[in-house]
Amino acid sequence: MQTVSIVAAVAAGLTAVGGLSLDRPVAAAESRVAAAEYVVDAAHSSVLFKVDYQNVVPFYGRFNQVQGTYTIDFENPSSSAIDVTIPTESIDSNNAGRDDHLRGPDFFSAREFPTISFVGTSFESVDEDTMNVEGNLTLRGVTKPVSVELNWGGEGNDFRGGTRSGFEAVMTFDRSDFGVNYGVDNGVLGDATTVTVALTGMQR
C-alpha cells in the first residue's frame, strides 16, 4: 500500500512538471466551439514534418518553436481565423549537422527567410470536429495556397486557470513548389512533404 502511494506521488509530481495535473485534468474535449481567439502555447504544441528518404522510409523532423493565434468557429466557419508562424531556425532533425544543412541555402535558408507562416483564408465545416481550411503557406519567400484538414480537439478549463483549446491539422504539399528542391532530382529525398501541426492555445 505504501509502495502504491509512493508511485502515485511520483507520477503526480512528474505529470505536474509536464504541465498536467492528475487532480485537475483539462476538461474533456468539447466539440462545440465559441468564436474565441486563442494564443498558441508553444510549450505544449508540436510541428512535425515528414518526407520520404530514398523512397524507402518516411523521415520525420520537427520545429521546436511556433507562435500565432487561431479562432475556430464550427457554427460560423467564416468567422474562423488561423495565423501561425514558425521560426525556421528551430528545425530539429535529431542531427546537429543535418540541422545546419536544413537551415542553410540548400533548404530553408533560415537567415534569408527567418519564418514559415500559414494564414487561413477560407474555412468549411465537415462535421462537428473536422474543418477543411484553405490558406496561404509562405515558405522560403514563396507564398502558395494549400489545403489543411483540421481536427478539433476541444476546449475547456486549463488547470492553471483560463480556457485552453487545441487541434491537429495536416497538410501535404510539394516542397519544390517553394524552391526547396534539394535531393528531389536524384531521388534521395522526396518532394511530397507532410506537415502535422498540433496546436494548443490559451484564450486571449
| Site for another protein, rule CB under 8 A | 54, 95-98, 100-101, 104-106, 109, 111-114, 140-142, 179, 182-183, 185-186, 188
Question: 60 or 159, CB closer to another protein?
Answer: 60
Concatenate the DSSP letters of all residues of 154-183 into one string.
EEEE-TTSSEEEEEEEEEEEEGGGGT--TT
Contact in structure between 31 and 72 (CB atoms under 8 Å): no
Q: Looking at beta carbons only, is 16 or 184 nearer to another protein?
A: 184
DSSP run (H or E) holding 59: strand 57-63
Distance from chain centroid for Cα 105: 24
- Work out how close the CB of 85 gets to another protein at its nearest, in angstroms, rounded to a whole number: 15
Least Å from the CB of residue 180 to another protein: 9
The residue among 77 and 179 lying less far from another protein, judged by its C-beta, is 179
Q: Which of 105, 174, 113, 119 is nearest to 140 (CA)?
A: 113
CB of 89 within 8 A of CB of 107?
no
> Which residues sit opposite 130 in a β-bridge?
151
Provide, rounded to whole angstroms, the least separation between the CB of residue 140 and another protein.
6
Residue 26 or 189 having the CB closest to another protein:
189
Q: Which is nearer to another protein, 24 or 111 (CB)?
A: 111
23 Cα distance to chain centroid: 27
Distance in Å, CB of 181 to another protein, minimum: 8
Task: Work out how close the CB of 29 gets to another protein at its nearest, in angstroms, rounded to a whole number.
Answer: 40
